[in-house]
Amino acid sequence: MAAPVAARRTLAGSLGGHGPFAAVLAVAAALRALTMLGFRPARIYYGDTFAYLRTALDLEPMWGFQPSGYAFFLRALRPFGSVEVVAGAQHALGLATGVLVYAILRRRGLPWWGASLATVPVLFDAQMLQLENALLSDTLFIFLVVAAVVALMWSPRPSGRAGLAAGPLLAAAALTRTIGLPLLLLFLAYLAARRSPRALVAAALAGLVPLAAYAGWYRAAHGTFRLAGGDGVALWARTMTFADCAVIRPPADLAALCPNGTVLDAASEYVWDPASPLNRLPGGPGANEDRARAFAVRAILAQPYDYAAAVARDVSLAFHWTPARHPERVTPAFGFHEGVIAQRPADAGAWRALRAYAPGTPEGYRAAEPYAGLLRAYQYPAYLRGPFLAAILLLGLLAVRRRGALLPWATAVALLVAPVAVLDFDHRYVLPVPPLACVAAALLFARRGARPRDQGQIRTL
């Protein structure tokens, strides 16, 4: 009898008091295994996925809305020749994100159950499971941003080493999704406000140098020094929901970009609709991006209150109880499905890229029963409803006065608002918000006076 007791004590000691969270993590891992069994081989999104796959094969900077960071991730996994391996790696990143949230909260003084509770939206939300099972850049982006926040929060005062860690993580995030670029500026402003010069210089150098190198590579391939294209087109589309050219008074060379009577139900639809003003111009969006950007800046400066109202209206969609259809043609939160979803694009070249990356990939994304049925039932209760997200953000705001809560809360709010401000609302774009919002909110309940140095037991993680 003594031997089993001793074994249990040894196991508890090796886990450093984190045994209950290890059980939580095991359940989350089982859910991800169930997702891979239930939906095979991995969800493929026509435009985004095939652009990433082509770039992973050719290793040229992407010409489009996003840079090539996710393509590098795909390139690293190419020797396996399987999109299921990619999905598995992304599920592992989802688990790692949960571990980071738990680790920083334990280090800040929360008990195991409080820190574990804060990981629930990361580890158990059905939308996260679906996203990790899709060939999209979002899961990698979420992990990189959370890791950067944790790196700067690990010590009471950000150090040079923390800056050296956070800088490259933020650079990688910006090269994965361009919305990561303003986050780097936000982090540098935070370090300046904290009067942490070593961390500031280290983060700036470690973050900006890789971005400058990538922009130079992009210039060699496409002729302009930047991370990606399309920012002018996106911002122009944002203005189409409120632009009034009687107020803007654009010059003659921009007048063709004024609203032409085409009314669409979401700002992003103006990028793709052939009847929108930009798509009717000779050369289309690609040849008129500078004009589109110039028009958008004029529109925002001439109608700042209308712009703010449009952004606020679309941000509010994140707080609906039931996921909003935006635009109407899109199924919100791309839920678990029945049967087969056809995934073959009209572009034969894109299909050849998928075949070259992962030979033998079937044309359909299939729901395999009975696993898929369990997940379809699971997804309805396992969804972070909008009012709960609002409550978490409010708790985080209350915790800003506590040392350490400002960075995760400000990052969460930036990730919520910035995509809408530069283009439109999308449920996918909301998913990076809960992990950081939960960190900020949980800090409100951290033990008063706790400092990272007091939490020696977390070093075992």
Nearest to 434 by CA among 411, 450, 452, 455: 411
Taking 90 as the threshold, does the pLDDT of residue 95 lie above it? yes
**305 and 331 share one domain:** no
pLDDT of residue 363: 76
Q: Are 82 and 141 contained in the same domain?
A: yes
**Of the listed ranges 53-62, 169-178, 337-346, the one predicted with least confidence:** 337-346
Task: Centre a 10 Å sphere on the Cβ of residue 287 and count the other Cβ atoms it contains.
Answer: 10
Asked if the structure places residue 224 within a domain, the reply is no
- Based on the domain organization, do 87 and 142 belong to the same domain? yes
Domain-embedded: residue 225: no
Distance between CA atoms of residues 444 and 192, nearest Å: 24
pLDDT for residue 345: 66
Tell whether 39 and 166 lie within a shared domain.
Answer: yes
| CA angle (50, 56, 57) in 5-degree steps | 95
Based on the fold, state whether residues 294 and 385 are members of the same structural domain. Answer: no
CB contact at 8 A, 342 and 93: no
Please check whether residues 159 and 30 belong to one and the same domain: yes
- 366 forms bridges with which residues in the sheet? 40, 340
- Residue 264 shares a structural domain with residue 413: no
Indicate whether 458 pLDDT > 50. no
SS3 state of residue 40: strand
Based on the domain organization, do 104 and 72 belong to the same domain?
A: yes
Does residue 427 lie within any of the structural domains? yes
Share of the chain above pLDDT 70, in %: 91
Q: Specify if 208 maps to a domain.
A: no
pLDDT at 317 over 90: yes
Reply yes or no on whether the pLDDT at 348 is more than 90: no
Structural domain ending residue among the three candidates 263, 285, 318 = 318
Cβ atoms of residues 254 and 216 within 8 Å: no
In angstroms, the CA 345 to CA 69 distance is 23
| Total of domains in the chain | 2
274 belongs to a structural domain: yes
Residues 390 and 437 in one domain: yes
Does 454 have pLDDT greater than 80?
Answer: no
- Whether 456 shows a pLDDT value over 60: the answer reads no
Question: Which residues are CB-contacts of 299 (< 8 A; sequence separation ≥ 6)?
Answer: 239, 242, 243, 248, 307
Per-residue pLDDT tens digits for 6-19: 444 444 444 567 88
| 159 CB burial (10 A radius; 0-12, 13-18, 19+) | middle
Residue 219, in any domain of the structure: no
pLDDT-based confidence at 460, cuts 50/70/90?
very low
Residue 204 in any domain: the answer is no
Q: Among 270-279, 310-319, 335-344, which stretch is predicted with the lowest mean pLDDT? A: 335-344
Cβ-Cβ contacts under 8 Å for 208 (sequence gap 6 or more): 167, 171, 184
Q: Which residue range(s) make up the domain with 241?
A: 231-318
For residue 194, how far is the Cα from the chain centroid? Answer: 26
Q: How far apart are CA 6 and CA 91, in angstroms?
A: 34
Within this chain, do residues 115 and 65 fall inside the same structural domain, yes or no?
A: yes
Contact 262, 248 (CB under 8 A): no
Among 264, 288, 318, the domain boundary falls at 318
Q: What angle do CA 311, 314, 318 make, to 5 degrees?
A: 125
Last residue of a domain, one of 318, 348, 372: 318
Q: Is residue 211 part of a domain?
A: no
pLDDT at 66: 84
State how beta strands 39-40 and 340-342 pair. Answer: unpaired
The answer to whether residues 158 and 238 belong to one domain is: no
Q: Are 248 and 316 in contact (CB under 8 A)?
A: no
Distance CA 390, CA 326 (A): 19
pLDDT tens for each residue of 324-345: 888 887 776 557 888 887 766 6
Structure tokens belonging to residue 66: 């996003």
Do 300 and 328 reside in the same domain of the chain?
Answer: no
Task: Give φ, ψ of 366 to 5 degrees.
Answer: -105, 140
Q: For residue 39, list its beta bridge partners.
A: 367
